[in-house]
Structure formats: structure tokens, C-alpha cells
Amino acid sequence: MTLTKKAESRPPSRPSASWGLASRPGVPWEYAPAPEATDHVQIRPEYGLFIDNEFTPARPKKTFQVINPATEEPLARVAHASKADVDRAVGAARRAYARTWSRLPGSERAKYLYRIARILQERSREFAVVETMNSGKPIKESRDVDVPLAAAHFFYYAGWADKLDYAFPGLTPRSLGVAAQVIPWNFPLLMLAWKIAPALAAGNTVILKPASTTPLTAYLFADVVRQADLPPGVVNIITGPGEIGMELVSHPDVNKVAFTGSTAVGKMIARAVAGTHKKLTLELGGKAANVVFDDAPLDQAIEGIINGIYFNQGEVCCAGSRLFVQESVYGPLLDKLKARLSTLRVGDPLDKNTDVGAINSATQLAKIQELVDSGVQEGAEIFQPDCELPTRGYFFRPTLFTSVSQSHRIAQEEIFGPVLSVLTFRTPEEAVEKANNTPYGLSAGVWTEKGSRIFKMVAAMKAGVVWANTFNRFDPTSPFGGYKESGYGREGGIHGLGAYLSLDGES
């Protein structure tokens, strides 16, 4: 039987057929479209660079197009910064550091950060919609995860701004100066918050370069900076291609570099910064193991596995992209997993019922496709639910591979898409050995009823964060970061604050 709920009064943003609303096998009834309204947001046709609290055109004036990956339609043009613009932005940040920000008592800096946090909450709906339109992530995620967590980061670090001496007892914390921050496209606003909140709390000024595909919430944040009356030059935002990111982190007047993105670019930045006085944190890729033991609550584990790899279309550095299942529960777990996978709703990111939205760019979609093709060619068995994809935009079916061997590219390389590789193990020792067989070390998951086994696994798995009986949990109080090729340094918590300070005994 096919039941269709009465349509809402607002018409869907597109003809419903293109969002795959035909009933699917195994899905008893379909939801009516529930699109989030977009008429309350104002995206300007063009954005300049944000320097000294003003939007200013790049010099020479040059712009590039930003699109909505779910529709391939243009959203805005943004400034394409030049080397001279990087100089301007660093100059503004340096002046603000010397004249205002570093001279303010921590309690005053805290007031600004609280103000930003509250404005983010007040404007959360607007931020969620713009984030979804620009990145392709489902509105329920930008609304319930990205934006609230971004505000939480500002609240959390606001609390530390006047307590630095207590955070590092016996040491003398001092701000570093000007911070250059380069962020990726998978969590545009949240990564901005992870970078800017601790930097400002510690007394630094910043220049942030968002990813070229997702600068719009950063420019919306620039409005918040003005609304919060932050002194000019404390937060500067510039857009441009990767080379501009390199100009920024290499600038001689920068004291701190923070980067989140690919391991390849992270290595280039590490080389560029080597031998300078600059303090560096790198948050790079991952290939997390999610390990399910035979005593795990299977239904709960299924939800964790799904959340682990299909949250944000799998475009998550800590995604649980390698699933290790104890052989004795492999059959029942896989049946449940395939059934659950078939209920995921793929389509319009602005629809409140969508689980899997659009891939961020054509380039990323092609990368996912290439790695999935390699999985098939190397002999793994592919499973994809029978769901209809929108005809325009960059969409990819949630995918699961079985018969995967450790040497397959899909078991080794970061795919950064909704693709899960399922492997098996017999003993805890084998699970640890296989889980650690990766150049990365960002995150991991373990599912078991036994507390002692959780502690043993947590200690043995080489990952910066290990979740037990849950996955993809984030909290501003909790440090996050990796080992090996996943980078170094921590963001979040007191550790994240320390990354923006010089402490006694450190140069």
C-alpha cells in the first residue's frame, strides 16, 4: 500500500518526481515533500573579501562562481583574492592584534564571543538554510548539528577567555598573534567555529580562508562579526583557490597556522611552515574502523554504523568507513544493515526528511565514483539500495561493499563519500591488527557489551578519538585530532585552547 501524507501548503521547490518520491520496494509508504523555506535568507549576488570589518573587492577585481551542488544553480559570486589581498588581510589582523585585541582583558573578549554565540543562535535558521544550499548537506543536519555545535563552540571558548591562567596552572599563557586558518567544505560553519572561537578566546586575531565551494556561511558570519561590534581586523575572511591558502599560511607575519583538509595539502603546509616560528595544527584525513563484537546490541550498532558513514554523505574526516564485524554475527548484522540502508532517503537537502543530501562538488563526486569503480574491479561485492536519484545535482547512492580485502583501495584510501567497506574478524587481536592497518589514525568505534573490552580496545586502537557504543559524537569540551597521517594537534577542549597560546617553556 502506498500512503501519501497531505502536501503542505508550500509547494515543493521542485517537481516531486525528480526527488525520487515513487514508492520503493521494502518502503511501505512515502513522505510528502517537506521543503524548508528559503525566502527568509538573503544571499547577495556578490561578496567581497572581509577585511577590517568591510566587504572589499579583490585587487585586481576578480570573482568566481559559487553554486548549489543539489541543483547546480549559481548562488553568488565571491572575490578571488590576490597575493596583495593576503597582505592586506594579514596587515589588518596585525594592526587589530597590536592596537585592540591583545590589549583587551579576557573578560572583554569573552563578551564579544558570547555575543557571537547568541547571534548564531538567533540566526540559526538562516545559517542552516544557507549552509545546506551551499554544501548539499541535509537541512536536518545543518539545523540540528552544524549550527548548534558552532554556537556551542563560541559559548564554550567564551567561558575560557578570562580564565587562561586557570586553564594552564603554573604556566604563563600568552597569545601568539596572527592566526592563518584554512578550512574545508564538509562542515563550513562548524570548522570556522572550531578555528575562530579558540583563537579569539586566547587573544589572537585571524584570517580565515574557507573552501572555494563553500564560502557563503563564512561571509554570513562576517555579518555576525559586524553585528557583534567586534573591533575591525580581529576577524578577516578571504576567498580564493588553494594557492591563496598557501600564500596565507606562508606569510611571514603570521604566527599560527591551523589547517583542516586533505593529507596531501597538509603535508605541503607542514613543509612550508617547517623551520619558521609558526605554531601548526593539522587535522587531516581518516579511514576509521568501526568494530562490532558479537555481544554488541545489534540494532543500536546498526544506527551507529549508518550514522558513522552516511552522516553528511560520508564527507566526514572521522567517518566510520571500515566496518569490522565479528564473524559469528556477520550474517544477521549484514541483513539488518542492508534493510536499514534501503530506508535512507536520498535527495533534496532542503527537505526536512532527507537523510543523504548532495555531494559537495562534481570533483568530489567523480572521486567517489572512481574509488567505487576500483572496488568493483578489484573484486568486492557492491550493494546499493534501489532508490531514485534527482536528475540534476551531485548525488551518489549510499553504497556498501562486502568481500573486501585489506589490500583493496576501498579499504585503504579515504573515499569521503557514502561508501562503507565491510570486513570481518574472529578475535579481538585480529580486530585491533586490522583496524590499525591504515596510514591514518583519526577516529575509531567499538561496539560491545563488555566494559573491560571497551577499555582494552580503546587503548589498543591507534586513533585520536575512540567512540564506544556510539559514533560521530562531538562536544566543544572534548579534544579532537589525530595520529600518523591524520595530522597533529587537538581542537576542542583545553587542548584546543593551548594550540593558540604560547605557554612557559614553549617557543
Tell me the residue ranges of DSSP E strands in 229-295: 235-237, 256-260, 279-283, 289-292
Q: Which of 313, 369, 379, 321 is nearest to 132 (CA)?
A: 313
- Report in angstroms how near the CB of residue 213 gets to ligand NAP at its nearest: 6
Nearest residue (CB) to ligand NAP, 132 versus 326: 132
Note the helical H segments in 210-361.
Answer: 216-227, 242-250, 263-273, 298-310, 330-341
Nearest residue (CB) to ligand NAP, 245 versus 496: 245
Query: CB count, 10 Å around CB of 389?
Result: 17
- Report in angstroms how near the CB of residue 218 gets to ligand NAP at its nearest: 10
Note the helical H segments in 378-427.
Answer: 409-412
- Name residue 351's beta-bridge partners: 35
Whether the link from the prior residue into 60 is cis, omega within 30° of 0, is yes
Nearest residue (CB) to ligand NAP, 161 versus 211: 211
- Report in angstroms how near the CB of residue 414 gets to ligand NAP at its nearest: 4
- Report in angstroms how near the CB of residue 184 gets to ligand NAP at its nearest: 3
Gap between the Cα atoms of 497 and 465, Å rounded: 18
Active-site residue among 131, 283, 414, 485?
283
- Report in angstroms how near the CB of residue 370 gets to ligand NAP at its nearest: 11
Any catalytic annotation for residue 387? no
Query: CB count, 10 Å around CB of 414?
Result: 24
Percent helix, percent strand, percent coil in the chain, to nearest 5: 40, 20, 40
Nearest residue (CB) to ligand NAP, 33 versus 285: 285
Any catalytic annotation for residue 317? yes
- Report in angstroms how near the CB of residue 69 gets to ligand NAP at its nearest: 13
Nearest residue (CB) to ligand NAP, 265 versus 461: 265
In angstroms, how far is CA 80 from the centroid of its own chain?
Answer: 23
Residues that bind ligand NAP (CB under 6 A): 182-186, 209, 211-212, 241-242, 245-246, 260-262, 265, 268-269, 283-285, 317, 364, 367, 414, 416
Active-site residue among 317, 318, 414, 491?
317
Residue 145: phi and psi, rounded to 5, are: -120, -65
The contacts of residue 288 (CB under 8 Å, 6+ apart) are 308, 318, 319, 320, 321, 322, 440, 442, 443, 444, 445, 463
- Residues annotated as part of the active site: 283, 317
